[in-house]
Amino acid sequence: MTDASRSAEDARAPTAEPAASPPPDSLATDLSPVGRPRRAYPLALPRTFSALRHRNFRLYWFGQIVSLSGTWMQTTAQSWLIYELTLSPLTLGVLSFASQLPTLIFSLFAGVLADRVNKRSALILTQSLAMIQAFVLAALVLSGRIQAWQVIALALVLGIINAFDNPIRQSFIPELVPRTDMMNAIALGASAFNGARIVGPALGGAIVAAIGAGGAFFLNALSFLAVLIGLLMMRVTPRPPRAQRDSMWTSLREGVGYIRDDRNVLTLLLMAMMVGIFGMPYATLMPVMAADVLGLGAGGYGLLLSATGVGALAGALMLASLGDFQHKGWLVTVGDWAFPLTLLLFSVSRSLWVSVVVLAGLGLFLIIRNATTNTLLQTAVPDHLRGRVISVYMLMFIGMDALRAAHRWLAAVQRAHRALW
């Protein structure tokens, strides 16, 4: 065929129709993490809440809001109760140390476990144990038999539970949403935590003032039912675990070796450690600031904690709205500069409302750097190592506070020993 005839044939051939454009995100067919088609959530959600299109994540998220609100109620009531029983700032440090020491001891092994087990079944177990702990604490307080050592011992028990629960819960998110929505899901998880941080302390302070700490502990125990029901209602096909023939120690060394060789991951974890050591002690001493510096009662103490939660919630929603923001390193840098500045302002404040405003800013900048760090880690780490890396992150951020509390406690013991002798 000549070039001329070929051109004529091409001219007579029907023009191919343009390919249909893909439907918008809000109407697209949802794919589960294992690739099965699933009908999308019928409401067109704004980008801030895009991860809520997925049924499993909705169940998880709403359950977390209720349960975490109860947890913050218990945290508020527990700190206030131990301070009422002892009138000792040192005992507050011991309480904090007892609740965080298990993270220091078990966190790395919990990360290995998180990479090996069925995460939903493991979370059902840890959440059930935490509910039992809250019921026992409530029973002791309501019966009038509570003593300071019992509060500390039960805080240690809950710390052991949380040491295993936290890395499993964090690494469970990729099984609830596809990778494209993981960043939004992490930010929404932070918003649930900090939304509860607003409601929980305020309710906790009001309940302690009205009916005592026992009522707050009992309501917290009931709040675990929300997350347990959500977990049981999920339709999750777990990702098949990799064949695990290595020992626990070998798997642990594999995770540590990955962190050591990846400069970006190592830098993020070291920065989290600095915040854990030098920044987070403010939360431990908040009852002292409320009662002795600002002259507040239980309600005012709850207001201070809620102010931090308001700022943190605003920061989490801002991050969720940014979507796949390309300059996350700048967000971490802003948080690392602004958080210590607001903390310094809070330390010199003697006004309730100035403290409330400053704490709101503190919460905003803290969640910006923490949630962004968590997002960077979750998206950078291979699936089979995620639990181990997240456990190290928990160790750097939470476990370092336990070391600092232990140092304060040992220093106090040495001072008491010198005074006696």
Taking every pair of C-alpha atoms in the chain, what is the biggest distance, in angstroms?
A: 111
pLDDT, averaged across the chain:
79
Q: What is the pLDDT of residue 35?
A: 44
Taking only the tens place, the pLDDT of each residue in 3-45 is 444 444 444 444 444 444 333 333 333 444 444 444 444 444 5
Helix, strand or coil for residue 37? strand
For residues 282 and 80, what is the distance between their CA atoms, to the nearest angstrom?
A: 15
Side chain identity at 23, as an amino acid letter?
P
Q: What is the pLDDT of residue 362?
A: 92
384 has a pLDDT exceeding 90: no
As given in the structure block, the two tokens for residue 411 are 């220093």
Q: What is the pLDDT of residue 370?
A: 83
> Of the ranges 9-23, 48-62, 266-280, 299-313, which is most confident?
48-62
DSSP 185-216: HHHHHHHHHHHHHHHHHHHHHHHHHHH-HHHH
The count of other CB atoms within 10 Å of the CB of residue 277 is 16
168, 387 in Cβ contact below 8 A?
yes
> What percentage of the chain carries pLDDT values higher than 70?
80
For residues 130 and 249, what is the distance between their CA atoms, to the nearest angstrom?
A: 28
Q: If residue 419 lies in a helix (H) or strand (E), which one and from where to where? A: helix 400-420
DSSP code of 240? P
Residue 139 confidence class, pLDDT cut points 50, 70, 90? very high
Q: If residue 111 lies in a helix (H) or strand (E), which one and from where to where? A: helix 89-114
153 has a pLDDT exceeding 90: yes
> What percentage of the chain carries pLDDT values higher than 90?
21
Q: Which residue has the higher pLDDT, 30 or 119?
A: 119
156, 380 in Cβ contact below 8 A?
no
For residues 149 and 132, what is the distance between their CA atoms, to the nearest angstrom?
A: 18
181 has a pLDDT exceeding 50: yes
254, 246 in Cβ contact below 8 A?
yes
> Of the ranges 122-126, 190-194, 405-409, which is most confident?
122-126
Q: Which CATH architecture has domain 46-235+248-420?
A: Up-down Bundle (1.20)
Q: What is the pLDDT of residue 120?
A: 92
47 has a pLDDT exceeding 80: no
Taking only the tens place, the pLDDT of each residue in 219-271 is 999 999 999 999 999 987 766 655 556 778 888 888 888 988 888 888 888 88
Where do the structural domains in the chain lie, given as residue ranges?
Answer: 46-235+248-420
CA dist list (Å): 397 to 33, 158, 182, 306, 329: 29, 18, 21, 21, 18
Q: What is the pLDDT of residue 92?
A: 78
Considering the entire predicted model, what is its pTM?
0.72
Residue 131 confidence class, pLDDT cut points 50, 70, 90? very high
Q: Which residue has the higher pLDDT, 404 or 322?
A: 322
As given in the structure block, the two tokens for residue 248 are 């626990």
As given in the structure block, the two tokens for residue 189 are 């998880």
The pairs formed by 235-240 with CB atoms below 8 angstroms and a separation of 24 or more are 235/55, 235/56, 236/56, 236/120, 236/175, 236/176, 237/32, 237/33, 237/34, 237/36, 238/118, 238/119, 238/120, 238/175, 239/33, 239/34, 239/175, 239/383
Q: What is the pLDDT of residue 399?
A: 59
* 188-204 b/e (C-beta count within 10 Å ≥ 16 → b): bbbbbbbbbbbbbbbbb
For residues 170 and 383, what is the distance between their CA atoms, to the nearest angstrom?
A: 12
Determine the straight-line distance between the first and last CA of the chain, rounded to whole angstroms: 111
Taking only the tens place, the pLDDT of each residue in 332-357 is 888 888 998 999 999 888 888 999 99
Taking only the tens place, the pLDDT of each residue in 281-298 is 777 778 788 888 888 887
Q: What is the pLDDT of residue 243?
A: 52
- The candidate with the shortest Cα–Cα distance to 77, out of 176, 219, 264, is 219
188, 320 in Cβ contact below 8 A?
yes
Report the range of poorest mean pLDDT among 106-115, 187-196, 261-270: 187-196
